[in-house]
Amino acid sequence: MRNETGGTMVVDLQADPYTINHNPHDLCPPEDPIISDTNLTHQRFSSVSSSIMSIGPTSGEGSPCVMSPWARVSPKWDADFNEDNVLETNGLISSIVREEGHIYSLAASGDLLYTGSDSKNVRVWKNLKDYAGFKSSSGLVKAIVLCGDRVFTGHQDGKIRIWKVSKRKPGKHKRVGTLPTFKSLVKTSVNPKYIMDARRNKNTKKTKHKDAVSSLSMDVELGLLYSSSWDRTIKVWRISDSKCLESIQAHDDAINSVMFGFDDLVFTGSADGTVKVWKREMQGKGTKHELEQVLLKQENAVTALAVKPKSSMIYSGSSDGLVNYWERSKSIFIGGILKGHKSAVLCLTVAGSLLLSGAADKNICVWRQDTSDGSHHCVSVLTGHMGPVKCLAVEEEEAYRNGAKACTVTEGDRKWIIYSGSLDKSVKVWRVSDRMATWREVDEPAASSGRKSSSSPHGGSGAWGSCDLEK
């Protein structure tokens, strides 16, 4: 139903406002070449009703969609009772719709959700209800990072804006700064020493991004913010004084993602088809990043990255629909490939033992790693979006209920709230858990190349699998 401010709708499990009067031309704005060059008309799952394939036999038993070889229904979701003795199942919780624009960025903390769109607005939701909002005069909001009482937003105009949450009025956000600061811009533009250094060294601290800020990543412990841009650079910012510590010409094409990882490593993925590993060293009050390794070099653009620090895992999504992964063991990265999407992978996120990948095929694949051999298997496919899935955010369910308070849930038995933002102008909210049932295993012999077979939702078509990379 609509709230008093108008334009917002919170929809329950089975209702989908996009099946009525939906304009297909609104699904794919022309700004993003990765999406516009991708086949979005594939009907593999487009006729699946409601929200997820794995609701069970009662969700459409006997229908042409379920009988289709393209849409095999997975086993029933796990169910359990919460502390209020209310039955809970994994799956769709609700949908949030606000006719403001396509959703490009998400960030979650406790029961709060921040959404960024091409309308220049950032909306704040509390317990899935419209709570607050703030607007920037810049272009679309491409990235959001939360750190304490501050919100960092990356924009199409190449700037990063800093917002502070009011202590007296928690729903009010005030802009307290911009990166780079006006003072630093003036200083670098008139200082002769800077101009000479810039001509000699391409990694001189050029504080302003010359193109859109594509992603943000925070090292909370050291108070450092990393930003990547389509201008092919990554920049390192010190939060305490808003100073740019370092600017790195990192790739030969637009950088789509930067992620601070583990062991002082930073990962970048670019439209030039590479994933690079950078080693960070602290030098006095500054930083120095050196290229340590190129994990991937391919023709297809790298579109998204995700890191699992506890397992020393790094994941990358590509415009060809593949997800590559690597695990670091004694300074050596060993990994494989996950095949689950028909179109470009646009976003990745990690939730405990699970990996979620959203793509231009409108689906979200949920993967779980087998701790015995390191391979990954599909747990389920979340469907229901009417447009490409552009961004994902995750929050532990216990923190969501308790307002970001500390959680005491046993490892391996954790439940997660997943938010997915789409170019269909909606945000869907899902519940998943580490104990989710997996697809029925298909007993197939491993190929001579060393590729390991894994269960597939497509009738053993071999579309989903994992393999070891050649050393």
pLDDT tens digits for range 390-429: 999 999 987 666 665 545 555 567 899 999 999 999 999 9
Round to whole Å and give the CA distance between 219 and 385: 32
Confidence of residue 114 (pLDDT cuts 50, 70, 90): very high
- Note whether 433 and 366 are within 8 A (CB): no
- Note whether 114 and 146 are within 8 A (CB): yes
Q: What is the pLDDT of residues 190-203, one digit of tens each?
A: 555 554 454 555 44
pLDDT at 44: 31
Q: In sequence order, which residues have a C-beta less than 8 Å from that of residue 303 and are 6 or more positions away?
A: 34, 256, 257, 269, 317, 318, 319, 344, 345, 346
- Note whether 208 and 202 are within 8 A (CB): no
pLDDT at 397: 87
pLDDT at 378: 86
Q: Where are the beta strands (DSSP E) in 207-254?
A: 213-219, 224-229, 233-238, 243-249
* 120 or 306, higher pLDDT: 306
pLDDT for 109 beyond 60: yes
Number of C-beta neighbours around residue 453 at 10 A:
19
DSSP 114-175: EEEETTSEEEEEETTEEEEEEE-SSS-EEEEEEETTEEEEEETTS-EEEEEE-SSSTT-EEE
pLDDT for 175 beyond 80: yes
List the single range of 81-85, 95-99, 117-121, 392-396 with lowest mean pLDDT. Answer: 81-85
Q: How far is CA 119 from the centre of its chain?
A: 20
- Of 129, 132, 139, give the one whose Cα is nearest residue 213: 139
Confidence of residue 244 (pLDDT cuts 50, 70, 90): very high
Which of 32-36, 165-169, 297-301 is predicted most confidently? 297-301
Quick one: average pLDDT of 254-258? 98
Residue bearing tokens 């793509």: 359
Helix then strand then coil, in percent of the chain rounded to 5, is 10, 45, 45
Helix (H) or strand (E) holding 202: none
Residue bearing tokens 């994902």: 392
List the single range of 41-55, 173-187, 229-243, 253-267 with lowest mean pLDDT. Answer: 41-55
- Give Cα separations from 91 to 114, 145, 378, 396 (angstroms): 21, 26, 15, 15
Confidence of residue 101 (pLDDT cuts 50, 70, 90): confident
Q: What is the pLDDT of residues 180-189, one digit of tens each?
A: 886 766 665 5
Quick one: average pLDDT of 378-383? 91
Confidence of residue 156 (pLDDT cuts 50, 70, 90): very high
Number of C-beta neighbours around residue 225 at 10 A:
25
* 136 or 263, higher pLDDT: 263
Round to whole Å and give the CA distance between 90 and 82: 12
Quick one: average pLDDT of 372-385? 88
pLDDT at 371: 79
- Of 194, 244, 234, 191, give the one whose Cα is nearest residue 211: 234
3-state class (DSSP) for residue 103? strand
How much of the chain, in percent, has pLDDT values that exceed 70?
Answer: 66
pTM of the predicted model as reported, rounded to 2 decimal places: 0.76
Q: What is the pLDDT of residues 28-67, one digit of tens each?
A: 454 565 654 444 333 333 322 233 333 333 333 333 433 3
pLDDT for 292 beyond 50: yes
DSSP 429-469: EEEEETTPPPPPP---PPPTT-PEE---TTTS-S-SEE-PP
Main-chain phi, psi angles of 115, to 5 degrees: -125, 135
List the single range of 13-22, 97-106, 132-141, 380-389 with lowest mean pLDDT. Answer: 13-22
pLDDT for 350 beyond 80: yes
Q: In sequence order, which residues have a C-beta less than 8 Å from that of residue 308 and are 6 or more positions away?
A: 314, 315, 350, 355
Number of C-beta neighbours around residue 418 at 10 A:
26
DSSP 425: S
Quick one: average pLDDT of 439-464? 33
Confidence of residue 334 (pLDDT cuts 50, 70, 90): confident
Confidence of residue 85 (pLDDT cuts 50, 70, 90): very low
List the single range of 100-114, 261-275, 288-302, 367-381 with lowest mean pLDDT. Answer: 367-381
pLDDT for 299 beyond 80: yes
DSSP 291-343: EEEEEEE-SSPEEEEEEEGGGTEEEEEETTSEEEEEEEETTEEEEEEEE--SS
Please, what is the average pLDDT of the chain? Answer: 76
- Note whether 207 and 186 are within 8 A (CB): no
pLDDT for 469 beyond 70: no
Q: In sequence order, which residues have a C-beta less than 8 Å from that of residue 201 and are 6 or more positions away?
A: none
Number of C-beta neighbours around residue 6 at 10 A:
9
DSSP 371-416: TTT--EEEEEEE---SS-EEEEEEEEHHHHHHTS----PPTTS-EE
* 68 or 327, higher pLDDT: 327
